[in-house]
Structures are given as structure tokens and as C-alpha cells.
Amino acid sequence: MKKRITVELPDYFSITHYKALNSFEHLDELEKVIHAIAATTEHSVESIKEWNITDLLGVYKGIGELFDTISNEFYPVFEFKGVTYGFQPISKMSVAEFIDLDARLKDPMKNLEELMAILYRPVVNQRFESFEWKVKSYIKTIVGQSENIFKYYDVEEYDSQKRDWRVEVFKDLPISYALGALTFFLQFGLMLQKDLVSSTPNIPMSQKKETMEMLEKAIQSVRTMGGYTRSEQLEKDLSSLQEKNQSLN
């Protein structure tokens, strides 16, 4: 008698899920599928290896469909686990937080939750009375917001100890929020850097070009983390395994 398998996929891909999936790139197709399912469900690698290939591919397809929901939309304010967090724009950053941020941008994938813990802090003063909120099962965001929302709130002072506490909280944050924040930050930082470089005559042309290329590369790196490249790879793995499965039947 065929063993009945019950699998519950998460409502969304968290930062933890996304980082785990990116750590399986060195594995072959089948091992990658098994570990991807284990990383996003309650099943262990050992138990998944006991499934039949049809069930395995069916669950993996569901993971791929969940990946298609990933975006890189920027949310300046959101409520997560009962706390309202606001994005700290460059114009309001202290030297200390910018230094910490810059150090972690050298490896954004590894430091995703740490970057978010610097970029977002609890809102301490706000004027959101005129804003409409959208509520999902796991998070609450302001609807139709624009960049000028920054003037409607203040976040708490930067504190490295509180940052470390937020790191643990933000491991469960939807990956879309991290990708959107990093894309916005890097694009905005690129514009500022361009203005700075172009208005500083003492910087050699070769150094200006190198600086621009570095920032452009950082932006492209975050964009390719946005789920689209990963989703395409999931589709390729799934198609390849389905073909192999059909050839065996």
C-alpha cells in the first residue's frame, strides 16, 4: 500500500529558507531537490529519501510555485510580529551604522538578516493616520506609500546590541522585504555616489569608473538574488528530473 505523504509548505519564503536553498548549489540535481524540500518543510532529509519520485517532484513543483511569488518591492514601513519597523534612509544614518552596513554589504547573501537589522529599526514616532494598511497573515504594510513617507516617522537610535536581537527576529522575515530594501538602498546609494564622484574634480577618472562599476555590480548581485534566477533554476532541475523519471517508466 502506498504511503500517504502530507506536506505543508510555508506561507512565504523567509530569509532563513532562502539562504538555505542557496547553500545547496554544489549538490547534484536530486540531492538539491531533497535538501530544498527539507529546508522548507517539516520533513527530514532521511524521511524524504523514502518517498517515491512522483511525490518528490510534486512537492518540489510546489516550492517552485512559491518562489514565483518572490518580488523585490520596497517597503519603507512594515509591522512584523507586533512591532512596527521603519527603514532608515542614508540621509539619516550615523557614521557608526553606515560603517556596520558597509562591512556587511561585502557579502549580502551571508549577511541578509544583519543588513535588515541595520536598515530597519522600531518606529518611535509616527504620523500614519492618513495611510491605509494592508494586512496579510504574517505581516502588515502601508499601501501606496512613496519615498516621502520617511518624513512621517522616526526610528529608535542605533544600538548594536538591539541590532543583534533583531537579527534573530528577521531570520523569519519574508525574503521579498530584504531584497526590496537592498535594491532600494543600493540604487539610492549609487545615485548619491554618482553625484559625489561627478562633483569632485580631484578624483582620477580611473577611480571614478572603478567606483561606479563596483556599485553597479552590487546592485546586479542583489537583483539576481530576487527569486527570478533561482526560480528559473528550480524549473530546470524539475524538468530534468521529470524527463529522467519518464525515461525510467
221 or 184, which is more confident: 184
- Show contacts of 24-30: CB within 8 Å, 24+ apart: 29/237, 29/240, 29/241, 30/241
Query: Are residues 104 and 142 located together in one domain of the fold?
Result: yes
Whether 111 is in a domain gets the answer yes
Query: Are residues 129 and 30 located together in one domain of the fold?
Result: no
Query: Are residues 96 and 166 located together in one domain of the fold?
Result: yes
> Which residue range(s) make up the domain with 239?
15-70+228-243
Whether 126 is in a domain gets the answer yes
Query: Are residues 169 and 207 located together in one domain of the fold?
Result: yes
Tens-digit pLDDT profile for residues 51-96: 988 888 888 888 888 888 888 888 999 999 999 999 998 878 888 8
pTM of the entire structure? Answer: 0.77
Query: Are residues 111 and 56 located together in one domain of the fold?
Result: no
* pLDDT at site 15: 92
Query: Are residues 193 and 124 located together in one domain of the fold?
Result: yes
Whether 248 is in a domain gets the answer no
Q: Which three cell numbers stand for residue 27?
A: 549538490
